[in-house]
Amino acid sequence: MSATSPLPADDASVFVHRNLPLLLLQARERVISRFRPALQAAGVTEQQWRIVRCLFEAGPLEPRQIVTLCAISSPSLAGVLSRMDDLGLVTRKRLGHDARRLQVALTPKGRALARRLAPRIEAVYAEIEAGIGTDFARDFYRALDVMIQRLGSVGGDDGEAGAA
């Protein structure tokens, strides 16, 4: 190893690209850390909030749809929904035409939580936008939408992947 490089000379150029998954995770952590105080004060986890917000905006969904939209793994979702049901935030009911399928919906308590948290959540978004700039925020949302659309779904992935 040289004094200027932490890698041996033959390893210094193995990777051409920056670690995009890690950069996205670091950015996510910096963003979500600003929302945590509001979520903790409301007594909900990040996963629970993602589900509440998604159901509030989209209406009742099947678990497989929640997995995709909320980036929560199927095994994790079952436990999260069970806890949310116990808290009175969601209801789960079998679909009449196919008893194997479930539909998850917010309860009035879940909808009230979303309405109660909305001003604090929106204030955090305003703070973030003020810090990074309105134009950058708009362009970044657009770039993320394009990236998600162009990369499409990943086979076998049902949320919560690590960095590569």
Q: What is the pLDDT of residues 123-164, one digit of tens each?
A: 999 999 999 999 999 999 999 999 999 998 655 444 454 455
Average pLDDT estimate for 64-74: 94
Overall fold of domain 31-117: Arc Repressor Mutant, subunit A (1.10.10)
Q: Is the pLDDT of residue 107 over 50?
A: yes
CA distance 69 to 148: 12
CA distance 92 to 103: 6
pLDDT reported for residue 99: 76
Strand bridging mode 90-95 / 98-106: antiparallel
pLDDT reported for residue 98: 79
Q: Sketch the domain layout of the chain as residue ranges.
A: 31-117
pLDDT reported for residue 75: 93
Q: What is the mean pLDDT of the chain?
A: 89
Contacts of 37 (CB under 8 A, 6+ apart): none
CA distance 81 to 47: 10
pLDDT reported for residue 117: 97
CA distance 40 to 35: 9
pLDDT digits (tens, 9 = 90+) for 28-61: 999 999 999 999 999 999 999 999 999 999 999 9
